A and B are shown apart, each in its own frame.
Chain A
Amino acid sequence: DAGITQSPRYKITETGRQVTLMCHQTWSHSYMFWYRQDLGHGLRLIYYSAAADITDKGEVPDGYVVSRSKTENFPLTLESATRSQTSVYFCASSGPLTGFAYEQYFGPGTRLTVT
């Protein structure tokens, strides 16, 4: 299906384990983003990517790693999960800057629980 998908939708993991959240978009958008959403904090940017092989830190990058070898995929890895990383994670994508395509399109989210 066209659009932006995230997997898994729900994940329970233990403290100290590595976990990878997947994000895939079919629009060939240049930009991709990872956010976490927590009560009282709203949406906070973790990492973003302007193109394949170009990534940059957002507001809360500690404890997370990203890569972008292909335009359509932007996986987020928690190298050693902590309880403070229990959250809902959203991936988003956006087209090129020409045409003022700044709007971001969001995936359905992954609810991650770290026990």
Chain B
Amino acid sequence: AQSVTQPDIHITVSEGASLELRCNYSYGATPYLFWYVQSPGQGLQLLLKYFSGDTLVQGIKGFEAEFKRSQSSFNLRKPSVHWSDAAEYFCAVVTNSGGSNYKLTFGKGTLLTVNP
């Protein structure tokens, strides 16, 4: 079965430091991958997506992610974190249950705390 693992439940970084959030997926075919961000009390907002092509994808708010097939990973990065980046981050992969049905399988999330 398809799955997504986010190994880090909680990460704390200092403002201005670089950030990398890990995501590993389990899926046989070429995966369609996403990162979402959820601020407290809000819904999920799409940060970026990977479908094919260039393995380094750029997203909103200065985030990028790199798809590495050999490692089954899709890690999210940001060179310099801002206090407003404090939120929960979710990795997701498209899963297809046949025909036109599809779903997203989400990881359990990584909570990011930013220290001043």
| Interface set of A (CB-CB < 8 Å, partner B) | 31, 33, 40-43, 45, 48, 50, 56, 58, 90, 92, 97, 100, 102-109
Give residues of chain B (15-55) contacting chain A, Cβ–Cβ below 8 Å: 32, 34, 36, 41-46, 49, 51
Q: How many A-B residue pairs have CB under 8 A?
A: 51
Q: Are A97 and B100 in contact (CB under 8 A)?
A: yes
Contacts of A90 in B (CB 8 A): 43-44
B70 within 8 A of A: no
Given A42-B90, A50-B100, residue A108 in contact with residue B106 (CB < 8 A) = no
Q: Which B residues are within 8 Å of any A CB, using their own CB?
A: 32, 34, 36, 41-46, 49, 51, 90, 94, 100-104, 106-109
In the bound assembly, the distance between CA atoms of A92 and B46 in angstroms comes to 12
12 A-B pairs whose Cβ atoms sit less than 8 Å apart in the complex:
A41-B108, A42-B90, A42-B108, A42-B109, A43-B44, A48-B101, A50-B100, A92-B44, A97-B100, A100-B32, A102-B94, A106-B45
Known contacts A43-B106, A100-B32; A107/B94 CB under 8 A? no
Chain B residues lying within 8 Å of A31, measured Cβ to Cβ, are 102
B49, B90, B100: the one contacting A103 at CB < 8 Å is: B49
Partner of B101, one of A40, A41, A56, A92: A56
Residues in B with CB closer than 8 Å to A41 are: 108
